[in-house]
Amino acid sequence: MAKGASLSGFPEWLPEERVVEQQAIDTLRRIFELNGFLGIETRAVEQGSSLLKKGETSKEIYLLSRLQEVGQENDTPVEDRLGLHFDLTVPLSRYVVEHSGDVAFPFKRWQIQKVWRGERPQEGRFREFIQADIDVVGNGDLPEHYEVELPLVMVSALEALRAFGLPKATVHANNRKLSEGFYRGLGLTDIEGVLREIDKLDKIGADEVTKLLVSECGASEQQAAACLDLASMSAATGAELAEKFDALCDKYGIAHESEAYELASQGLNTLAMIVDESARIRPGAVIADLKIARGLDYYTGSVYETFLDGAASLGSICSGGRYDNLATQGKRKYPGVGLSIGLSRLVSYMLHTAGAKASRQSPAAVLVAVWNEDDRMRANRIAAALRDRGIATDVAPTAAKLGKQIKYADKLGIPYVWFPGQEGDGDEVKNIVTGDQTPADPTSWEPDTVYAQQTVVVE
């Protein structure tokens, strides 16, 4: 749980911690816009009927009621009530349908917003947190190359966040068609069931999963072994992937001419493209990992999870995939590919594990001293001149003894204290970190580059 959260599950940062979060958001936005994504912000609430559509998390919704309606909440069916969105995908699908006449398709959008989960308070679970999403949505169809490009945009974004103390991120990709084709090739029919059991691999181990595949999904011992063989596959290149997969098909007798192999091949080709293209741009950033099963039941093509080196306990910090049925409008379909970063957990990691912090608490580079209250106007004028030139400046709160004013600057991490000239002397400015003091004119003085901006540093 985050430090400083007075209400379990609702993280809240101190000002110097918020700088880290704010600049992480700025960084993500910059990368998303560099890649041509359009920013949107949707309302925090959706109709209950929209929120209840999606299976998995439908139990974790906060519903709203007006104070004046307390006691009458139950007169309204949940579907007709308003609730807080629990992700940014449900709002996107509504937004796309509502504005399909106004946006250009394929619609590439980024969105960084809070989401809420109406969970029972429990250790380590956020009930309010920030998600950072990118999606591309097609009108009718959507080219496959976006399944390659979107994880790579997230790789760039996570790469940029290494300046905030994040370790190297690796995207693990799989493909629903590949898994399904392989399972069908084995003769299995309960595809969802097999995926559900495979998803438990890391938790309960291969032996238990084998038992469950047999008892729950009607698999023979050999079919179960084949499923585990597939799940153990990973590959860093498309060629390696194809070679290993074909060897597996040969081993288990899946014919290359079969429909099942054809389906698997579609998925395999996309997955091969993803690892090959990413290998060219950022070697090792994306690997094929065929045990990724979570989410495969609602995704229809690629699926991605992302792990940080040495931070396995965080689980996947950026997940997503392709879904061909993101939204529909009559017969019109809007397929999408997207990924979502759970930003608040990452910020918590940056702050409490990686040692990221603001270079200073205040955005101000300068504190103008005040010799006496009658003189405040002059300090204000100096501050105004500095601000006009883009230099963030504060003015001492009181005409206290100089030592106390410097202490205030020091507490806020403001590096420079400006002394208005007295009795005809010119102004001087002191760097209270280095101790250097020099004459200065507010219309021309510049702070040293290293002290100019409030930044994020990693200790």
**Binding residue ranges for L-histidine:** 87-89, 117, 131, 135, 294, 298-299
Q: Which residues, at least 6 apart from 365, have a Cβ–Cβ distance to it below 8 Å?
A: 391, 392, 393, 414, 415, 416, 447, 451, 452, 453
Strand-pairing partners, residue 438, are 429
Q: Which of residues 270-329 bind its own copies (CB under 8 A)?
A: 277, 280-281
Q: Which of residues 399-418 bind its own copies (CB under 8 A)?
A: 408, 411-412, 414
Q: Considering the complex, state which of residue 10 and residue 371 has its C-beta at the smaller distance from its own copies.
A: 10
Going by DSSP bridges, is the β-strand pair 366-368/356-358 parallel, antiparallel, or unpaired?
unpaired
Residue 75 touching its own copies (CB under 8 A)? no
Backbone angles phi, psi at 210, to 5 degrees: -55, -45
DSSP annotation of 109 reads E
Q: Which of residues 90-129 bind its own copies (CB under 8 A)?
A: 94-95, 98-99, 102-104, 106, 108-109, 114, 116, 118-120, 128
Q: Considering the complex, state which of residue 73 and residue 221 has its C-beta at the smaller distance from its own copies.
A: 73
Helix (H, G, I), strand (E, B) or coil at 335: strand
Residue 12 touching its own copies (CB under 8 A)? yes
Residue 385 touching its own copies (CB under 8 A)? no
- Kindly report the number of other CB atoms within 10 A of residue 433's CB atom: 15
Q: Considering the complex, state which of residue 118 and residue 315 has its C-beta at the smaller distance from its own copies.
A: 118
Q: What is the dihedral of CA 84, 89, 95, 100, to 10 degrees?
A: -170
Binding residues: 87-89, 117, 131, 135, 294, 298-299
Residue 27 touching its own copies (CB under 8 A)? no
CA proximity to 385, closest of 426, 312, 441 = 441
**Which of 41, 259, 309, 441 touches its own copies by CB under 8 A?**
41
Residue 140 touching its own copies (CB under 8 A)? no
**Which of 124, 253, 310, 397 touches its own copies by CB under 8 A?**
397
**Which of 60, 87, 246, 375 touches its own copies by CB under 8 A?**
60
Cα 422 to Cα 439: distance, rounded to the nearest angstrom: 12
Residue 371 touching its own copies (CB under 8 A)? no
CB of 384 to its own copies, least distance (A): 7
Backbone angles phi, psi at 204, to 5 degrees: -115, -10
Q: Considering the complex, state which of residue 247 and residue 281 has its C-beta at the smaller distance from its own copies.
A: 281
Cα 204 to Cα 305: distance, rounded to the nearest angstrom: 20
Cα 342 to Cα 354: distance, rounded to the nearest angstrom: 17
Q: What is the DSSP string of 381-396?
A: HHHHHHHHTT--EEE-
Residue 67 touching its own copies (CB under 8 A)? yes
**Which of 361, 428, 452, 457 touches its own copies by CB under 8 A?**
361
Residue 74 touching its own copies (CB under 8 A)? yes
Q: Considering the complex, state which of residue 153 and residue 228 has its C-beta at the smaller distance from its own copies.
A: 153
Residue 50 touching its own copies (CB under 8 A)? no
Cα distance from N-terminal residue to C-terminal residue, the chain: 21
Binding-site string for its own copies from residue 425 to residue 454, where x marks contact by CB under 8 A and - marks none: -----------------------------x
Q: What is the DSSP string of 141-207?
A: ---THHHHHHHHHHHHHHHHGGGGT---EEEEEEEHHHHHHHHHHHT---HHHHHHHHTTHHHHHHH
Q: Considering the complex, state which of residue 71 and residue 424 has its C-beta at the smaller distance from its own copies.
A: 71
Total of chain residues touching its own copies, rule CB under 8 A: 92
Q: Considering the complex, state which of residue 317 and residue 414 has its C-beta at the smaller distance from its own copies.
A: 414
Q: Considering the complex, state which of residue 4 and residue 205 has its C-beta at the smaller distance from its own copies.
A: 4
Going by DSSP bridges, is the β-strand pair 318-329/332-342 parallel, antiparallel, or unpaired?
antiparallel
